Amino acid sequence: MNANPDTILAVAGLTLARGPRHRPEILVDDLSLTIQAGEMLALVGESGSGKSLSAAAVFGLLPAGVRRIAGSIRLQGQELTGRSERALRAIRGRAMGLVFQNPLTALNPSLSVQAQIAEVYRVHRQGSRTAARARASALLAEVGLQDLSGPRDHYPHQLSGGMRQRAMIAMALACDPPLLVADEPTTALDVLVQAQILALLARLQRERGLAILFITHDLRLAARTADRLLVLYAGAIMEEGAVADVFEAPRHPYTKALKAAIPPLPATSQRLFEIPGLPPPPGPPPSGCRFAPRCGHVRPDCRDAVPPLRGAPARFACFHPCQDQ
């Protein structure tokens, strides 16, 4: 049972790996997070940090070769791990909506967007064709595509990138899911359209009480858009908490470095800060802090043990957090 009835998603100790069972390469290590109704959590991290795989695990859509070796995933109190593909498919359609970077890979080019949205609704809600079509029109209007909500069909190739992303969001919402996962939903869009799509997500979060997992590599965007931030590095949580804590006063040197690497606005001729080195490739569980090889604050004891997550309400995994130095 869920302790808090407003908790929509609760992930606990999720660990994902690839490679042989006796020598697994850890891709996501002991990930725990919760998202409440009406809340947006941003999962932030560099490329390869495990953001998309974590989302795929929530949807029960892990790619071949990647497996869950530990952890629980609860949606509205219901455990999702261990379910059959059939059961998961039914839950996915009704209770979780997924929006990702390139809507063209999700939209069928030979079907109108109205027909595609109506189809999702009909498959999961068993309504009549007329009811499904009316539902599609209402959803298109809700996401700002009033021009597409009339009887005339519109195909994905006739829409701009921003319109396609809106259509994708409408499709994800077809069955009124309590959870929306948006994986880099604006990375392919120009900054103006990006701002419009993020404003749309924020409005849907507010008006529908949606729980949103927003995945991005852009810390500034995450801080502007979400209520809480979860910073991932090499598959593990470095820091997590409200934007006011994590972004405004980071305790973890990695979060602080990510923030320092944000280009200033307006642009200046000042040299940008870069985090030296690269994240480690996936491997066996580490014996010390994963960030140690790149950390400007590293001390000898950082390599002796993995720093546990600590602190409240914001949590960080560091032996020598920034404001203590």
- Residue 36 or 52 having the CB closest to Mg ion: 52
Q: What 8-state DSSP symbol labels residue 156?
A: G
Sign of the CA dihedral with 251 first, then 253, 255, and 256 last: positive
- Residue 122 or 290 having the CB closest to ligand SF4: 290
Q: How far apart are CA 294 and CA 279, in angstroms?
A: 8
Q: Is 114 in the site for Mg ion (CB under 5 A)?
A: no
Sketch the per residue contact string, 137 through 176, with Mg ion: x for CB under 5 A, - otherwise. Answer: ----------------------------------------
Assigned token pair, 195: 């701002």
Indicate the SS3 state at residue 147. Answer: helix
Q: How far apart are CA 124 and CA 3, in angstroms?
A: 28
Binding to ligand SF4 (CB under 6 A): which residues in 296-315?
297-298, 302, 307
- Residue 50 or 71 having the CB closest to ligand ATP: 50
Burial class, 21, CB count within 10 angstroms (exposed 0-12 / middle 13-18 / buried 19+): exposed
- Residue 66 or 115 having the CB closest to ligand ATP: 66
63 binds, among ligand SF4, Mg ion, ligand ATP, none (CB under 5 to 8 A by kind): ligand ATP
- In the complex, the smallest distance separating the C-beta of residue 294 from ligand SF4, rounded to whole angstroms, is 8
Count the helices and strands in the chain (H runs, E runs).
10, 11
Burial 239-251 (b: 16+ CB within 10 A, else e): bbbebebbbeebb
Q: Say if residues 88 and 210 touch (Cβ distance below 8 Å).
A: no
Sketch the per residue contact string, 45 through 64, with Mg ion: x for CB under 5 A, - otherwise. Answer: -------x------------
- Residue 100 or 291 having the CB closest to ligand SF4: 291
Binding to ligand SF4 (CB under 6 A): which residues in 234-253?
253
- Residue 208 or 259 having the CB closest to ligand SF4: 259
Residues near ligand SF4 (CB under 6 A), total: 12
- In the complex, the smallest distance separating the C-beta of residue 221 from ligand ATP, rounded to whole angstroms, is 13
Residues near ligand ATP (CB under 6 A) = 18, 27, 45, 47-53, 63, 65-66, 217, 282
**How far from 16 is each of 12, 50, 67, 77, 284, CA to CA, in Å?**
12, 9, 6, 21, 12
Sketch the per residue contact string, 258 through 297, with ligand SF4: x for CB under 6 A, - otherwise. Answer: -------------------------------x-xx--x-x
Q: Pairing state of beta strands 179-183 and 211-216?
A: parallel
- Residue 135 or 297 having the CB closest to ligand SF4: 297
Q: Say if residues 188 and 102 touch (Cβ distance below 8 Å).
A: yes
Q: How far apart are CA 85 and CA 79, in angstroms?
A: 14
By CB under 5 A, name the binding residues for Mg ion.
52
By CB under 6 A, name the binding residues for ligand SF4.
253, 289, 291-292, 295, 297-298, 302, 307, 318-320
